[in-house]
Amino acid sequence: SNLHQESVDIGIRMGKGDWEGVEQKLLFHDEVVVVAAPHFNGGRLPQTPQEVVDSTIIYNTESWLPWCEAAGVEMGSERKGLCSNDSNLVLEAVRLGQGIALERRSLVHDAIERGELIQLCDVSAPYAYPYWLVWPPRESSEDKQREFSHWLSGEVERYLAQLKKNT
């Protein structure tokens, strides 16, 4: 969306960066992990990458290719599970124990911390698009932008420190 035409002071985007006409600051790089509910499959959770790819999968828009490459397994070509491009729906289905999913760590971190979801295998793969803070260079918004940027940077630092602590 065009930040100039709207009266938006600041935004968060995912992508490669290099957007024209906006200032941008890299927030963090994400990664994808496989998650399941603790009670999925009667509590008998897939242990190995092969068991993961043989499971009931709830597909979203994420490509499994980078994860499979990192795990050294191949995905069958037929997709048996549910497929949705709405990550809220996908995560709800996973929470209900209907299958497993490949998700961005930033989306599932809190649920894993609370024990609602479990990361299967230690395998993760880099997510292609980092998160950026973007803002139109607009003098009238400078103070608000600086304040928000400062607050968000603190939140990101806390999140990344938590990830380090858990590895």
pLDDT in tens, 13-56: 999 998 998 999 999 999 999 999 999 999 999 999 999 999 99
At 104 the three-state DSSP class reads: strand
C-alpha 159/C-alpha 165 separation (Å) is 10
What would the pLDDT profile of 130-162 be if each residue is shown by its tens digit?
A: 999 999 888 888 898 999 999 999 999 999 999
Burial class (CB in 10 A: 0-12, 13-18, 19+), 51: middle
Tokens of 68: 């499979």
C-alpha 89/C-alpha 132 separation (Å) is 25
What pLDDT was estimated at residue 103? 95
What would the pLDDT profile of 51-83 be if each residue is shown by its tens digit?
A: 999 999 999 888 899 999 999 999 877 776 788
Place of tokens 């980092």: 130
- The DSSP 8-state label assigned to residue 129 in this structure reads S
Name which CATH class applies to 31-126.
alpha beta
Residue 96 pLDDT grade (very low, low, confident, very high; cuts 50, 70, 90)? very high
**Which residues, at least 6 apart from 155, have a Cβ–Cβ distance to it below 8 Å?**
none
The domain segmentation of the chain, as residue ranges, is 11-29+129-166, 31-126
At 38 the three-state DSSP class reads: coil
Terminal CA-to-CA distance of the chain, rounded, Å? 36
Place of tokens 């940027």: 149
Give the count of beta carbons closer than 10 Å to the beta carbon of residue 165: 7
